[in-house]
Structure 1
Amino acid sequence: MTVTITLNGIRRTGEVQPDTSLYTFLRQQGCLSVKCGCETSNCGLCTVHLDGRPVLSCSVPAFRADGHEVTTLEGVQKEAEEFGAFLADEGGEQCGFCSPGFILSVLAMARELENPTDDQIKEYLAGNLCRCTGYQSQLRAIKKWLAARKEGDK
């Protein structure tokens, strides 16, 4: 079957099988930032935005994205770099394997929640697994980045 999506602002069409995951389709389209760590929708590494909302691309059939907008890390480079600097400064990015999915979740959270509490941040990011950090450095980075964004809006 033919699938057409708007991928990072560019219309893309491809052939997929009924069981092709969005993750697989995105990788075939050259979006190598999309990672797969578990194939069971438990790690968050495959997180992408589907119509602006975070989804686990390993559990979404590619045909479900037909006609929709999909954003990967490649499509939000400027925002990702800005947040990534905070993440690195706090020691929250070590091996970097989980970073693309984590960053996309953080960007979605920032759009959805105006002034998230620590508990809201933790709840929003609960499905993003990182084997390198203890999550505290990531939480500090998020809070500092959100504060800097708020300060920049003034």
Structure 2
Amino acid sequence: MHPRTHLSLCKFLRRTIPFPSHPKPQTLIPSKPITTKSFHPFPTPPTSQSSSNKPLLFQFKIFRSYNSETDKVVDEINLKFAEAREEIEMAMESRETVYFNEEAECARGVVKQVLEMYDGLLEKLPEKERGGIQRSMGLKIEQLKAELEQLNE
């Protein structure tokens, strides 16, 4: 749209459509200066609940992290998962071409690698960590299997 036309259109709309007027916005800047003694960006939580009847105001949620070796393997699986999805997508796009068999075979190979890595990780982990990994990655693995089945049809 030409800039001049845009301005004309804005002026026309302002004249024809009554927009409600709003009061002047108030500033968010405080009128008195903030000093280091008066400004606390994060209030300190009470140290114990026995000193007052009020419950603690702050609860910190701690996310359980696996050991660094497990995290590395999970990251590798996630990268391979993304690669497998791309390979499946490329194979699906070449479905009616002469390249389909080659693309499909490559996708099957990458999916097989992902499944082997995932199963190998589950075998190494204790029961408690295994459940967490299955909850976090199980649906993705099932999705990958379903996409491979669509490719095979």
Q: Which has the higher strand share?
A: 1
Q: Which has the higher helix share?
A: 2
TM bucket by the smaller chain? under 0.3
TM-score of the superposition, structure 2-length normalised?
0.24
